[in-house]
Amino acid sequence: MPTRTAIDDFLGQRNLAFAGASRNSREFANSVYRHLRDGGRTMYPVHRDPDVLAIEGDVAFHSVSAVPDPVDGIIVMVPPDSVVDVVNDAIDRGIQRVWLYRGSGQGSVVPEAVSLCRQAGVSVVDGACPFMFDGRPTGFHRVHAFFSAHRIAS
């Protein structure tokens, strides 16, 4: 369960890697990516496909290790079978904050990935949507925030 302290600390960072945005700008992950970027953060999209050169107009990096300094945290919005690899790469890169996205269902919250973060002393937001906490949620995100509040520890 994520803590409000970990969430606020993560969202206070200005340089974020983002694993999971797509070439398709209509994907939900891209909405999250744009929201964070448009909120004044420097975003570094990570996409393992070498044919993907840009995401949302930003240069795409093909591995977490290729992301330039500084990088204060990483948001992970990839399928469950890819999460552990991304988290291992982030830990190897020295990233100290990891946000494992979850809206409904499992999302990117994989118990092994959460354990890896905690064992490495990495702050982890294990299961929440940034839309619920970065500014005032609107529309569906406001409803989702209301019903998901019980998953957040103070």
Q: What is the DSSP letter of 133?
A: T
Query: Higher model confidence: residue 148 or residue 102?
Result: 102
Q: How many CA atoms lie within 13 A of 48 on its CB side?
A: 9
Q: Is 14 helix (H, G, I), strand (E, B) or coil?
A: coil
Percent of the chain with pLDDT over 90: 74
Amino acid in the structure at residue 6 = A
Q: What CATH number is given to the structural domain containing 79?
A: 3.40.50.720
pLDDT computed for residue 33 by the predictor: 95
Evaluate whether 113 touches 81 at the Cβ level (below 8 Å). Answer: no
pLDDT computed for residue 1 by the predictor: 73
**Mean pLDDT within 51-57:** 96
The domain tally of the chain equals 1
Confidence at 138, pLDDT banded by 50, 70, 90: low
Residue 82: what are its φ and ψ, rounded to 5°? -110, -10
**pTM for this one?**
0.88
* Domain span holding position 10: 4-151
Evaluate whether 114 touches 3 at the Cβ level (below 8 Å). Answer: no
pLDDT tens string 92-123: 999 999 999 987 667 889 999 999 999 999 99
